[in-house]
Amino acid sequence: MVNTILKEDVRFFSGNSNIPLSQAIVNYLGVSLSPAIVSRFPDGEIQVRCLESVRGKDVFIIQSTQTPAENLLELLILIDAVKRASARSITAVVPFFGYARQDRKTKSREPISAKLVSNLITTAGASRVVAVDLHAAQIQGFFDIPTDNLTAVLILGKYFRELNLENPVVVAPDVGAVQRATDFAKEIPNSTQAIFVKKRLSPYEVDTSRLIGEVEGKTVILVDDAIHTGNTLINAANEVLRRGAKAVYATATHGIFAQDSLKKFEGSPIKEIVVTDTLPVLSRPELISKVKVLSVAPLIGEAIKRIIMHESISELFEKKEI
């Protein structure tokens, strides 16, 4: 039945931000992406046209919104296009939800960019949002439409569980990562936990010298939501080794890998960095062999199936086989 519904009532479109993932999601579902022009006018502005009717259909638009901001604009314009073409429902599938770091005012005269972006997506016409590991769980509440914040923790946890690391300690590189690290630690038998009290000096600099917990003689797994410059993880790795850790691994859902971070990871003591494909890491020409990429396509595909079938999604937070 799900296959008939998928083919007859549902349509999938993708922006250009992460086509391999969009393709993997529709492959998982056994359908195809609908044809669309998502390109540029000669002056560089975004041009969109869906080349298939969506009248009365449930439409899923898959697009991560990493920098450049054109990725976000492509998503908004695609939503507008299908809204004006009389789609019955529009789900914005945003595997990496960008502009999420300014999610509250920490100083005067700062924006709350995450709220602004949520408003833009809703105003454009989305009726539902599916994201993966939002930078902060409360961003879910910035939307007044159904929003599913999926998590890759089970996928990453399964990978590390199967490594059977000796004497593992799961370390949150900052206080914001504690919940994620705690959820991850549940997947790693016999693991203990530790927490860094990170001080962010600037977007480029962090002080990771205060650690709560024991790492001496242990195998450290650093768990974060995202890797930007890599400084948080590399500083934390150096610090745990200084305190006697035997080896360090790192994992995060979103591998942004800004600037020369891949090069920095290559020269770092971290043995392996495990991320997912919410961003097109595998197409980075400077990718290094230490970086392992796991796919969230089955997770998102399964969530889409359940949305279509009006089934519960909460099981995806518990099931071990996805």
Catalytic residues: 198
153 binds ligand R5P per the rule CB under 6 A? no
Which residue's CB is nearer to ligand R5P, number 218 or number 254? 254
174 binds ligand R5P per the rule CB under 6 A? yes
The CA distances from residue 129 to 23, 58, 94, in Å, are 19, 13, 7
Shortest approach of ligand R5P to residue 136 CB, angstroms? 8
Shortest approach of ligand R5P to residue 306 CB, angstroms? 28
299 binds ligand R5P per the rule CB under 6 A? no
176 binds ligand R5P per the rule CB under 6 A? yes
Which residue's CB is nearer to ligand R5P, number 18 or number 268? 268
Mapped onto helix, strand or coil, the DSSP state of residue 179 is helix
Phi/psi of residue 21, nearest 5 degrees: -70, -45
Per the document, the length of the chain is 322
Q: Please state, in angstroms and rounded to a whole number, the distance separating the CA atoms of residues 222 and 218.
A: 12
Contacts with ligand R5P, 206-225, as mask; x by CB under 6 A: x-----------------xx
122 binds ligand R5P per the rule CB under 6 A? no
Q: Please state, in angstroms and rounded to a whole number, the distance separating the CA atoms of residues 17 and 9.
A: 25
Shortest approach of ligand R5P to residue 185 CB, angstroms? 17
Which residue's CB is nearer to ligand R5P, number 81 or number 226? 226
Question: Left (φ > 0), alpha (ψ -120 to 50) or beta: where does 14 sit?
Answer: beta
Mapped onto helix, strand or coil, the DSSP state of residue 208 is strand
Q: What is the largest CA-CA distance in the chain?
A: 62
Among the listed residues 87, 185, 227, 247, the single contact to ligand R5P using CB under 6 A: 227
Residue 277 · residue 21 · CB < 8 Å: yes
Among the listed residues 54, 114, 177, 297, the single contact to ligand R5P using CB under 6 A: 177
Tokens of 217: 């003689």
Phi/psi of residue 231, nearest 5 degrees: -65, -40
103 binds ligand R5P per the rule CB under 6 A? no
302 binds ligand R5P per the rule CB under 6 A? no
63 binds ligand R5P per the rule CB under 6 A? no
CA-CA-CA-CA torsion sign (282, 150, 116, 104): negative
232 binds ligand R5P per the rule CB under 6 A? yes
Among the listed residues 168, 230, 255, 301, the single contact to ligand R5P using CB under 6 A: 230
Q: Please state, in angstroms and rounded to a whole number, the distance separating the CA atoms of residues 158 and 286.
A: 27
- The site for ligand R5P (CB under 6 A) is made up of 173-174, 176-177, 206, 224-232
